[in-house]
Amino acid sequence: MKTIINAENQQLEMAQKITSNKHSAAKSTKEQPCDLCKIFLWLKRKQREVSMDTYAVSRYIRERINQAIKEHSHELVLGERKLRTLLSFLSTLPRMLSDVVKAETIIDGFVECGMLDANTKTCPDMDQILATCHRKLSLDEHELCRNKFDDLYHLHLDQGHVADDIYKNMGFPQDEDVTGSKIRRDATVTRESFQRAKCLSHPYQKMLRYQVTELLEARETAKRVGVLQKFQKILYMNIMCETSILRQMQQRQHGIIQDIGTAELQDFEKAKPEWLKGFIHCRLFDTPDGHVKANYKFPNKGRLKNCINHQQDCLIQRAYDLKHTVVKLAVPQGEQNVLLYDEVPITEEKNEEEEEYASDIE
């Protein structure tokens, strides 16, 4: 199904004036002509009559197939018996198909399911189509099919498919399984193999597929944007924290300081809790949800006086212990130039987005 509805294949079929259709997802042995024709039965019977010794060309085909199998022996591993059986079948298959697959053999399957009438073999036979039903239809049901035929026909011409709800609204009885339970065939274009008979090449169905594709792409883009926003928010909080630490070091040492590794515990005191969390997160995890997967809990910020000699487990102490650790978190390759989180001036004023990040990672 995926191969048929592929956009490139659909264009190729259109150029070749090919129309693709599908059967209903039900009773294949009653409704589908390829399953009703005698080809498979006759092919099985023909196997008993034909051998490689019957036709000289079969021996040549066998040699070619055997050589191809040897070239791919690392991919196809078969026992001696299975190999002999496979070679025998494939080498005689062309001859058997030429004897069995004939036009009248194929047409018989279409006649039996009602897709072609028995006399002219050109038009569908409604009575024969209705005869594929597993139960006997009432006269009222027969009359309903005839009365609604034109409406269903034109609807199928317009849309290439008749939805289950339309049959229900027209008064058609709902399908039943072998146990008598009601079955709804309400699959959408996202699961076409489960739908009723339809024209896969119909422009309306192509439009529905296109809309679904656009929707899925939009969801994927939104998901990607959401992940990038998490990356950039955490990295932004890390920058805020590093800037605050460097500012405290500069004020304390009266000079330009570039190395956070030389910072002291007191230099972390002015950083906000959400900044400290970003600082810690970037050095412990390489993904935005790494703390969740690791079941990592962020403590309170704490007070500087309680952090001396590790008297209290707090954000200040944890951030200080990680000052020599290299940042692990990075925006995925190829997404570095995508700005999703608006940068704001680095100040120590209240920032709503920073508080939102703090609630997100908690």
Q: What is the dihedral of CA 305, 311, 313, 315, to 10 degrees?
A: 20
173 neighbors 142 (Cβ within 8 angstroms): no
User: How many other C-beta atoms are found inside a 10 Å radius of the C-beta of residue 291?
Assistant: 19
Q: Could you state, in order of their start, the residue ranges of all structural domains in the chain? A: 225-361
Average pLDDT by stretches of 10, the chain with 362 residues: 78 87 71 80 81 69 84 79 85 84 85 89 88 86 93 93 90 84 82 87 91 89 88 93 91 76 90 95 93 92 81 89 92 61 42 46 44
Residues constituting the chain: 362
How high is the pLDDT of residue 56?
60
pLDDT at 361: 44
pTM, rounded to two decimals: 0.57
Q: What is the pLDDT of residue 27?
A: 57
Q: Report the 10 Å Cβ neighbour count for 324.
A: 11
**For residues 340 and 225, what is the distance between their CA atoms, to the nearest angstrom?**
7
* Chain Cα centroid distance, residue 68: 34
The helix (run of H) or strand (run of E) holding residue 183 is strand 182-183
CB 312, CB 327: distance < 8 Å: no
30 close to 100: Cβ distance less than 8 angstroms = no
354 backbone dihedrals φ, ψ, rounded to 5°:
-65, -45
Give the C-alpha distances (Å, rounded to integers) separating 37 from 47, 107, 108, 153. 18, 7, 6, 27
Please state, in angstroms and rounded to a whole number, the distance separating the CA atoms of residues 189 and 167.
17
Position 315 scores a pLDDT of 93
CB 23 within 8 A of CB 31: yes
* H-helix segments, the chain: 2-5, 7-15, 28-31, 33-36, 39-47, 56-71, 80-100, 103-112, 126-130, 139-159, 164-169, 203-253, 273-284, 290-293, 304-307, 315-321, 352-361
Predicted local distance difference test score (pLDDT) of residue 11: 85
CA–CA distance from 214 to each of 3, 6, 146, 194 (Å)? Answer: 19, 15, 39, 22
